[in-house]
Amino acid sequence: MRAKWILFLLLFLCIGCGNRKNDIKIETIIEENRHYKIGINYPLTHYQKLDDSIEQYIHTSYQNFLKQQEKEITLTTQNELNIDYTFYQNKEMISITLFKSENEEEEIKTFNYAYKKDCFISLEKFVSSEDVYNIANTLLFKRFGNVLDLSLLKKNLHTSLFSIDEENLYLYYPPYSLSNHYLDTMIIDIPLQKLNIETEEVKRVHHEMMSAEVDLEKVNSIIDANKKVVALTFDDGPSPYTDEIISILKENDAVATFFILGNKVKNYAAVLKKSLEYGNELGNHTYNHKWLTKLKDEEIKKQMQDTQDIIYETLGYTPVLFRPSYGSINQHVRKDIALDVVLWNIDTMDWKYKSTSKIITRATANVEDKSIILMHETYERTKKALPEIIRILKEKDFVFVTISELKQIESLRKYNG
């Protein structure tokens, strides 16, 4: 794998950067002795902020490697550190990727820098991340479907490592971030044309579109995109009923999505961890159930971020979904929210109806393929209704999926016409 990379990088250096030699300066470090071998190439651009970040990364990698050598001098093998790069510049931005390999370990670092504005940019800055990750998800299944770990995919699909060139947006997934069985970095390239990028940040070049048909047979072993699916969702938890609710789901081979409140997370760390292990998904439902449409921008962002932070700190998990409390949302709120907003189309009204049988009827009577059912995990009657709801929907041949799985299935079906 490494040999292939080096060949590819050499080609890229010769062809890709041939006409830009004047803009950038290539720094090289080559050192070799009995114990180790270092080969580093990296670009410097005369943009101070960018150069500082690159040099800092190179310097740290180099120092750490040398420190490691002092600790373990082996006579039989020669340790190796290699760093190479790709470089792309258009009218607005510079995109640099550093590929590091240290003995058997790979690491990728990306720098995307808007030089006119003197700042680093994130993916969301110039492209709809929803589109990107829908396509990425499909391509990942197509190329790595046999090794992907669904729970890791859910957690890590939104990678911060990306770069662009004339033709493609590249997303990088480090070893073990999406699979426990795949030792190399997973790289996805998405033709820019496919993303309808309208901003000036990226120069669009017409290029033949890559076919992205999905190998359904491979995908089917993970999720059957042809089955009727339904997503159960529970809001306002966690609560004293959560533990029983996730047990009922597990016994029935079902999963659900829980939109939880930040202020309740700490008290239910263990049960939330178990819920994730059982294959359920957690979404953000604000910190303490505020009417977001009545809040200022900073307050909305704080409601969101505090909840993301406490979930991450407590569970090491980053939600990608958001459901506004009271379903209270408008354009103003939407623009403060980076997560996917998920509402519902079947409302059990379990906060209002005290009768279990009424909740069961409301949950099951009008369910269709891809329905999203709204319930609350804060009522005992909802917990009591759950086994019967699952039984009836199973009888109607529905498969239970989380919201992220539902989105995967939608994009798979879209790709397959």
Interface residues with Zn ion (CB under 5 A) are 235-236, 325
Catalytic residue among 51, 84, 235, 350: 235
Q: Looking at beta carbons only, is 9 or 261 nearer to Zn ion?
A: 261
Look up residue 349 and give its amino acid.
M
CB of 92 to Zn ion, least distance (A): 41
Q: Looking at beta carbons only, is 63 or 330 nearer to Zn ion?
A: 330
Tokens of 97: 């990727």
CB of 242 to Zn ion, least distance (A): 15
| Alpha-carbon distances, residue 156 vs 153, 169, 178 (angstroms) | 5, 18, 7
Catalytic residue status for 376: yes
Q: Are the CB atoms for 86 and 163 separated by under 8 Å?
A: yes
**Three-state secondary-structure class, residue 178:** coil
Residue closest to Zn ion when measured from CB atoms:
235
The residue length of the chain stands at 417
232 beta partners: 256, 373
CB of 274 to Zn ion, least distance (A): 22
| Alpha-carbon distances, residue 400 vs 257, 294, 373, 395 (angstroms) | 10, 35, 11, 12
Q: Looking at beta carbons only, is 222 or 329 nearer to Zn ion?
A: 329
Q: Looking at beta carbons only, is 236 or 405 nearer to Zn ion?
A: 236
Give the torsion sign (CA, 336, 338, 344, 350).
negative
CB of 236 to Zn ion, least distance (A): 4
CB of 289 to Zn ion, least distance (A): 6
Residue 26: closest CA among 36, 34, 18: 18
Q: Give the whole-angstrom CA distance, residue 341 versus residue 215.
A: 29
Q: Looking at beta carbons only, is 165 or 235 nearer to Zn ion?
A: 235
Which residues have a catalytic role annotated? 235, 376
